[in-house]
């Protein structure tokens, strides 16, 4: 039996998928109404026990077929991501499809070891055997963003399914076709019917899903939306895993390799038109090397090849997702200029071009308290500021409500590690940017307002979608009753008091 991922809504309303490079409508999907959401969750709940009971080798075979489906359709999938999200084809391949296939194979290979019971030796009760058994949660809701419309939802849908759960998945309303194709891939791989459900729509559909009785919510998106989801989930104490926004700082020390740092800054700030939660959103460079570093960043930024329409293989830079996101960039850049910032390149919408393009922009002399240094811009903007000491760099980098990733560039490993340990971020990369998300062995998530919980992280990533059940039993035939059971007595009190003093008092263990 194969998956039937789409729940057909009763309403006739549809979502239009718009190519952000041209404004062209490239497809439609039906919107799922509230009754359809409840039906999807109910069907998933009914299907989940059979999926969880399926022998792990059979689940692994299905998932291997899934990876083959991705490989077989690589060019088609990359083209869809480019048309619906706007990013260049090479980015679609390297930043979405490659890490998705790698993550899947990683968990396929290691699932048996990760899912086995965990033994807990007991120091006080060596005669007892204690284990933790990890069981699927049941039905997991995955609510996904538009900026990585394949990788981010695929990662969580796959991991939740691999852990034995059923999934109800809501793609972003801006990239519904990428969401739909994820369902098609699982269906073609032979996922059992109803184990994966897809519901389509905007935030109202997401709210209905949170309130539909799921066992856990996995949300990737903005901090503002996360707060709304957490309020709804609090009514039923539904746990929520949140991977949220960032204002990721990059620190360039005076001993850094400036060519590598400049290349990293330009790619880390402008790939996907800056629409990456782990993008380089602000740069702090040592005053002693600020001038040559800034010159290198500006030179490389000016060399970026901006697509004339739909991005092709020779284009480096595509459009933003919509007018709303572009307007945020306009506002942040205008505010920075009004408060003394200097625009060295970019800073405007390109002339004579349709779609939602914005020129890659480099600014200097940006006050630390302005929105472009404090709020998530999520666009192709690199504001650069300077510092005099390493301590000042750490203070500036930590001056944010966000804490997703941070980046340190230095040729002195000990110095870089010292700074990295002081930065308030879920991940710190030294002499690199962004790509730790693609390593499934490492934890991904943020501190402060950048998230709750961690995904990936090897066995912990699988266990995010499982519940720990503790089981304890006797290794040998137990006594008729324990010494501390009823009846109580003064003699018993004296004996246990002496035991406590012997074990933990002066000279005890």
Catalytic residue (one of 4, 84, 91, 243): 243
Q: Residue 179 in 3-state DSSP?
A: helix
Task: Check if 178 is active-site.
Answer: no
Q: Could you give the angle at the alpha carbon of 409 between the alpha carbons of 403 and 410, nearest 5°?
A: 135
Peptide bond into 487 cis (omega under 30): yes
Token digits for 133?
Answer: 């058994």
What angle, rounded to 10 degrees, do the helices at 74-85 and 56-72 form? 70
Helix (H) or strand (E) holding 229: helix 223-234
**DSSP characters over 345-399:** E--SPPTT--SS----EEEES--TTSHHHHS---SSEEEEEEESSHHHHHHHHH-
Torsion sign (Cα): 424, 428, 431, 435: negative
Contact (CB, 8 A) for 126 and 165: no
- For residues 451 and 445, what is the distance between their CA atoms, to the nearest angstrom? 6
> Could you tell me which residues come within 8 angstroms of residue 418 by beta carbon, excluding any fewer than 6 positions away?
390
- For residues 382 and 269, what is the distance between their CA atoms, to the nearest angstrom? 6
What backbone phi and psi angles, to 5 degrees, belong to 317?
Answer: -145, 125
Pairing of the two strands 443-444 and 361-364: unpaired
Neighbouring C-alpha atoms within 13 Å toward the C-beta of 195: 29
Token digits for 426?
Answer: 């879920």
Token digits for 494?
Answer: 């004296």
Catalytic residue (one of 34, 96, 178, 277): 277
Q: Which residues are catalytic?
A: 243, 277
């Amino acid at each position: 039996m194969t998956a039937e991922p789409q729940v057909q809504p009763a309403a006739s309303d549809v979502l239009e998928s718009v190519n952000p490079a041209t404004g062209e409508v490239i497809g439609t999907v039906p919107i799922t109404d509230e009754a359809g959401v409840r039906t999807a969750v109910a069907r998933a709940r009914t299907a989940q026990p059979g999926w969880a009971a399926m022998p792990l080798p059979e689940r692994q075979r299905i998932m291997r077929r899934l990876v083959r489906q991705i490989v077989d359709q690589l060019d088609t999938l990359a083209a869809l991501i480019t048309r619906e999200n706007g990013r260049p084809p090479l980015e679609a391949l390297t930043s979405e499809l490659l890490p998705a296939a790698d993550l899947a194979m990683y968990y396929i290979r290691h699932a048996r070891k990760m899912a086995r019971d965990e033994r807990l030796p007991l120091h006080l009760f060596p005669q007892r055997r204690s284990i933790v058994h990890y069981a699927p949660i049941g039905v997991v809701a995955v609510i996904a963003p538009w900026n990585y419309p394949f990788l981010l939802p695929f990662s969580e849908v796959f991991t939740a399914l691999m852990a034995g759960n059923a999934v109800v998945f809501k793609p972003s309303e801006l990239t519904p076709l990428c969401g739909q194709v994820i369902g098609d891939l699982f269906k073609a791989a032979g996922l059992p019917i109803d184990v994966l459900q897809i519901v389509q729509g905007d935030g109202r559909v997401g709210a209905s899903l949170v309130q539909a009785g799921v066992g856990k919510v996995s949300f990737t998106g903005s901090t503002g939306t996360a707060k709304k989801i957490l309020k709804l989930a609090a009514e039923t104490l539904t746990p929520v895993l949140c991977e949220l926004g960032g204002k990721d700082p990059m620190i360039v020390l005076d001993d850094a390799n400036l060519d590598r740092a400049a290349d990293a800054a330009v790619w880390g700030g402008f790939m996907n038109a800056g629409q990456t939660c782990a993008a380089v959103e602000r740069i702090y460079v040592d005053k002693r090397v600020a001038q040559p570093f800034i010159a290198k960043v500006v030179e490389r930024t000016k060399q970026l090849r901006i697509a004339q329409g739909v991005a092709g293989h020779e284009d480096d830079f595509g459009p933003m997702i919509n007018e709303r996101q572009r307007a945020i960039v306009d506002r942040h850049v205008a505010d920075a200029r009004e408060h003394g910032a200097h625009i060295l390149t970019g800073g405007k919408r390109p002339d004579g071009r349709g779609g939602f393009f914005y020129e890659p922009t480099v600014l200097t002399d940006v006050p630390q308290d302005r929105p472009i240094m404090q709020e998530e811009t999520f666009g192709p903007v690199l504001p650069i500021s300077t510092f005099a000491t390493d301590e000042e760099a750490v203070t500036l980098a930590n001056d944010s409500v966000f804490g997703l990733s941070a980046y340190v560039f230095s040729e002195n490993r000990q110095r870089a590690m010292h700074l990295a340990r002081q930065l308030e971020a879920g991940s710190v990369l030294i002499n690199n940017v962004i790509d730790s998300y693609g390593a499934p062995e490492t934890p991904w998530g943020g501190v402060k307002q950048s998230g709750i919980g961690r995904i990936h992280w090897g066995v912990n990533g699988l266990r995010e979608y499982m519940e720990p059940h503790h089981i304890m039993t006797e290794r040998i035939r137990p006594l008729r009753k324990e010494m501390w059971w009823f009846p109580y007595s003064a003699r018993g009190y004296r004996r246990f008091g002496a035991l406590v003093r012997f074990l933990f008092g002066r000279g005890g263990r």
